[in-house]
Structure 1
Amino acid sequence: MKRMFVMGCLLAAVSTWTACSHSKSATGATSNATSENPSLLYDKDWRLVSMQGELVDTAGMHRIPAIRFGKSDHRVSGNGGCNGMGGTFTVTGDKLHFSPLISTKMACPNLDVENKYFKLLDQATRFEVSEGRLELFNDSGSILLFANP
């Protein structure tokens, strides 16, 4: 029941984000909180909602995959649903670069989501933060969407 409630909340967050993500300012320009205030990225627990446009099924996972960006030490940490991960990162404007990320290697059932998540993190080159959501992009487009509950 709790997992269904969490998934419902995440779906509501995605729906709200979709409705708000392309809001126009008074000048007609799409607002981009990243260029205005990149500090919105830091020191928040971001929970994974979707990968390459598909909702993440967290049924059977120990935890919801998540990520956190430390502002003072430029360390990234999180988990893939089973294993913890970490490393360092740099931000320049809306550009994002991770050092090679390391992770624990616990054996858990169904590591497909985690393996895909970690692979996509390695591909991230840009980010946007707005309306309680974090989106990571590679050269082809959006690859990971997170919510900050």
Structure 2
Amino acid sequence: MLKQLVLITALGTAAILSGCESMPSSSATSTQNPQLLQNRTWVATHIGNTAIQTSPQARNIPSIQFDEATKRVSGADGCNRIMGSYSVNRDTLQLSQMAGTRMACLNNNNIDRDFNDALAKVTHYKTIGKTLQLLDRYGNPVLKFESAVQPR
């Protein structure tokens, strides 16, 4: 009976320790670093949990760029050009003075409206590899982006 108890305890401890070792720490997979956010083009892939379907030939593909030198944000919402200013800290992101062009875009499934509604909710960000998530105040992703490959 004692051998069985020791064996069960040893197996349980080994399972717990191996589970802890195999789980990556959040700092290894997720980074809040302004340098990873800035000076690159981010192409939108999701608004909330909804995937964005755009043609590579489409004009004004939903995207965003953060210029470190000027602290200006620019991009497109799927129809219009957008611009504004931003401030960033370790994991917070504040967008302000956002403006955009006002073109009439047909048949875009309201991507521009949904994109701008999501941008208005952004308070935090998270980069994971080549992925950027813009988060609301509750930590929920409102926009997801992939880093665009820049032509040389």
- Relative to the length of structure 2, the TM-score reads 0.74
Question: Is 1:88 aligned to 2:90, yes or no?
Answer: no
Aligned residues between the structures? 124
Q: Distance in 2 between matches of 1:134 and 1:108?
A: 26
Q: Distance in 1 between matches of 2:51 and 2:142?
A: 12
Question: Which residues of 2 match residues 44-63 of structure 1 at below 5 A?
Answer: 44-59=40-55, 61-63=58-60
Q: Residue 30 of structure 1 aligns with which residue?
A: 26
Q: Residue 77 of structure 1 aligns with which residue?
A: 74
Pair 109,92 (structure 1): closer, same or farther in 2 beyond 3 Å: same
Q: Residue 147 of structure 2 aligns with which residue?
A: 148
Larger radius of gyration: 2
- Give the drift of 1:100: 2.9
User: Percent same amino acid at aligned positions?
Assistant: 27
Q: Distance in 1 between matches of 2:120 and 2:26?
A: 28
Task: Provide runs of 4+ in structure 1 moved above 4 Å.
Answer: 24-28
Gaps of 5+ in 1: 1-23
Q: What's the secondary structure of 1:107's corresponding residue?
A: coil
- Give the drift of 1:61: 4.6
Pair 61,25 (structure 1): closer, same or farther in 2 beyond 3 Å: farther
1:64-89 CA distance string (max 9 Å, x none): 21000000110000001221010000
Contact 1:83 1:103 in 2 (8 A): yes
Q: One-letter code of the match for 2:88? A: V
RMSD: 2.1
Q: Distance in 2 between matches of 1:45 and 1:33?
A: 18
1:113-143 CA distance string (max 9 Å, x none): 1111011101100001121011000024111
- Give the drift of 1:26: 7.8
Contact 1:61 1:82 in 2 (8 A): no
Pair 131,79 (structure 1): closer, same or farther in 2 beyond 3 Å: same
